[in-house]
Structure 1
């Protein structure tokens, strides 16, 4: 809208809408983006995510708005009473006719140069890839030694040492003392990180200090510290400031911890959790051993049932021989009876045909004699066979072998010794005789 057209007719009556629109255009077209300094008051965080506030000094105030698409990039939360510097555009909210500033950027007052340096270095290192997640390394699960780069007088050191002692007191800690603020602090921090890598005595390195203002934490925003952390071969944790504080070292380190205490927690496993895991593993091991023992006992019982003692086996053989003798005796008796039946049959046939009685009687007597002789001979043979088997059985009796002068030699594990080449001087042997046993030592072992 051209403002000159409005003023050509001095008698023209403006509508409020036209007037406010004209004023807004004049403000936005006549004033560029500018930095304005003041104190925040009446701060409101609307449900839409937009921020509404007033910016004031000792003599004036102005309404301000910072829309969500702008305030979401701030890593800190404004509060009433905070002194800030805002990059804003002067405008007019036509619905209420209120003059206001539309804020594009906001920073704490007096720290503009530091924030600009912070953002500039952040963009530079990010472009070089120092913030990439792909280059960050995983921390060791069970570090053997932990290094601390901090000030010996810092409260953060006590917090870290206390946390490490509670979580895992057995892990040794190496302190690399450095100043954490002031002139030259950044260079000394970088030198300490480089020294820790040269000495290679730690598995993880914690770079930490407690909270403070941006000036106090500025050593950890220096490029020399960022590059020392990036070049570190030891995985590094950055625990600088409080939870809301962010430094360049946080972005470069392998892990950013919100506080020094959180850094100590991230560097060490929890002893209580490890003890619980060990207890669970021990319980599983005990259950496994018990199960294996029970299976072995069952297998042993099965093998014991299958194993027959030599005496029991000899008893079985004797029972078998007795059974054979009984069968032999029965067979002999049956043979005699059968011959007797045949004799009776023949006698009846002889009587029936009335042969020569004297001749037949003589022949019958001869046959009876032959039968008795044959029966006695057969019985004698079977008896001799039985005696031979009994004698062979006696030969198998270990006690008979020992009675003939032999002995049973066993080593300390109960194994039978049959080869002298396996013996050496000093071995102890157990010798079993027919009567009793003796325990002897080997003085000299001969070749087999």
Structure 2
């Protein structure tokens, strides 16, 4: 019972406008915001966006108005004959003295119980950890096959198949057929998910259906479906209804897409994007290989200019020596013919010169021979170094190229031994 309000002190005569204002104030203060159930009739939506209709039952009726900013939040269009529940404030339209309800929210009759059941199950499963983000698995980037759990007659299946064919034409698709609404649909959906997880014929599973009312989508709000998703051995992507539709299955899934088409895009790689990335990687690899080869060719050229073989140097010196000998012989002949009296002196000078020259060349030759011995690999081995060869006969310069357990051959200054790699430092 509403609390009785004190009667207002009224003048002996009041206007009609004042009467209606007092009545409106009494109504709005006496009756709280409440839910009222009834059937819609005479529904009309004006260009302004405001909605006017009559709410009736078998015994009475009441005029209702739902202003635009409230009607936009309904998400569906009411029609005559619908059973609804409205959250409204009883008031009086003063200009006409007409009793009416100002509607703030509207839902289909019976949906209140469904929403309450939805929230209770959601809270229970969330408490059990089924929605924990840490339990959600990443989707495979390159699945070998995609599974689809839906009705074979569903339009959602056609959308999924068309999207998969466009993104990756040769990707195998496995259908696990099941009804997606109606009596027992939830249990059959859960069984199809369990079958896909047990067979493991696919790397990712799409659970989908088209849009509909909350009653149409209710099979996806059953606990058995949510637990089957979490127990499934492969990641599950949901694409149920439209973007504004959320089900318990969406919260339990590893990934949620707003539509079946978007779910197919999440579960499959894009062929064109992969081809583009592959071409870019191939171009970068070719460019890097060409650049590395050019750097090494330049390095070889630089080393070849700096390196002179000792034998070549000896040959150059011997050539110069032969040239000097030829010049010397010519000078000797000319000197003997023209300067006989200087023959002895020249002979002495020649002998001395030859001696010094040969001594210098001998010193140089010894130095070159020592340098050649230094470059000899045998000399390196004599200093305690060794040469390690792989089983294929190649010289090992990098320990990273050997594997534990691989056989190798080690050459010392005197002798060779076989060995096996036991560990790598």
* Offset, 1:170: 3.8
Correspondence 1:37 to 2:39: yes
Closer/same/farther in 2, CA of residues 268 and 331 from structure 1, 3 Å limit: same
Correspondence 1:204 to 2:212: no
Match of 2:373 in 1: none
Q: Partners in 2 of 1:30 and 1:382 — Cα distance?
A: 137
Partner deviation per Cα, 1:14-51 (whole Å, 9 max, x = no partner): 562454233442365257722233158344697xxxx7
* Offset, 1:272: 0.5
Q: Partners in 2 of 1:379 and 1:31 — Cα distance?
A: 138
Please state whether the residue corresponding to 2:50 is helix, strand or coil. Answer: strand
Larger of the two Rg values belongs to structure: 1
**Contact 1:42–1:54 (CA under 8 A) maintained in structure 2:** yes
Q: Which moved more, 1:375-384 or 1:252-261?
A: 375-384
**Contact 2:20–2:92 (CA under 8 A) maintained in structure 1:** no
Closer/same/farther in 2, CA of residues 23 and 391 from structure 1, 3 Å limit: closer
* Offset, 1:268: 1.1
Map of 1:189-200 to 2, 5 A cutoff?
189-200=189-200
Match of 1:52 in 2: 50
Please state whether the residue corresponding to 2:147 is helix, strand or coil. Answer: strand
Q: Which runs of 5+ in 1 are unaligned?
A: 333-339, 341-367, 395-421, 423-446
Match of 1:435 in 2: none
Q: Partners in 2 of 1:331 and 1:17 — Cα distance?
A: 149
Give the alignment's Cα RMSD to 1 decimal: 4.6
Map of 1:272-287 to 2, 5 A cutoff?
272-287=272-287
**Contact 1:65–1:100 (CA under 8 A) maintained in structure 2:** no
Correspondence 1:303 to 2:303: yes
* Offset, 1:197: 2.9
**Contact 1:242–1:258 (CA under 8 A) maintained in structure 2:** yes
Q: What count of residue pairs does the alignment treat as equivalent?
A: 357
**Contact 2:40–2:80 (CA under 8 A) maintained in structure 1:** no
Q: Partners in 2 of 1:299 and 1:72 — Cα distance?
A: 75
Match of 2:219 in 1: 219
Q: Partners in 2 of 1:67 and 1:123 — Cα distance?
A: 33
Q: Partners in 2 of 1:3 and 1:19 — Cα distance?
A: 18
Partner deviation per Cα, 1:324-346 (whole Å, 9 max, x = no partner): 669989999xxxxxxx9xxxxxx
Q: Which runs of 5+ in 2 are unaligned?
A: 333-338, 366-388, 390-414, 417-425
**Contact 2:24–2:92 (CA under 8 A) maintained in structure 1:** yes
**Contact 1:150–1:178 (CA under 8 A) maintained in structure 2:** yes
Match of 1:176 in 2: 176
Match of 2:378 in 1: none
Match of 2:77 in 1: 78
Closer/same/farther in 2, CA of residues 127 and 21 from structure 1, 3 Å limit: farther
Q: Partners in 2 of 1:137 and 1:179 — Cα distance?
A: 26
Q: Partners in 2 of 1:267 and 1:227 — Cα distance?
A: 21
Q: TM-score, normalised by structure 2?
A: 0.66
Closer/same/farther in 2, CA of residues 95 and 270 from structure 1, 3 Å limit: farther
Partner deviation per Cα, 1:252-295 (whole Å, 9 max, x = no partner): 32222222111101111211111111111111112112212222
Match of 2:22 in 1: 21
Q: Partners in 2 of 1:257 and 1:82 — Cα distance?
A: 34
Closer/same/farther in 2, CA of residues 135 and 89 from structure 1, 3 Å limit: farther
Please state whether the residue corresponding to 1:85 is helix, strand or coil. Answer: strand
Q: Partners in 1 of 2:132 and 2:15 — Cα distance?
A: 59
Q: Partners in 2 of 1:88 and 1:128 — Cα distance?
A: 37
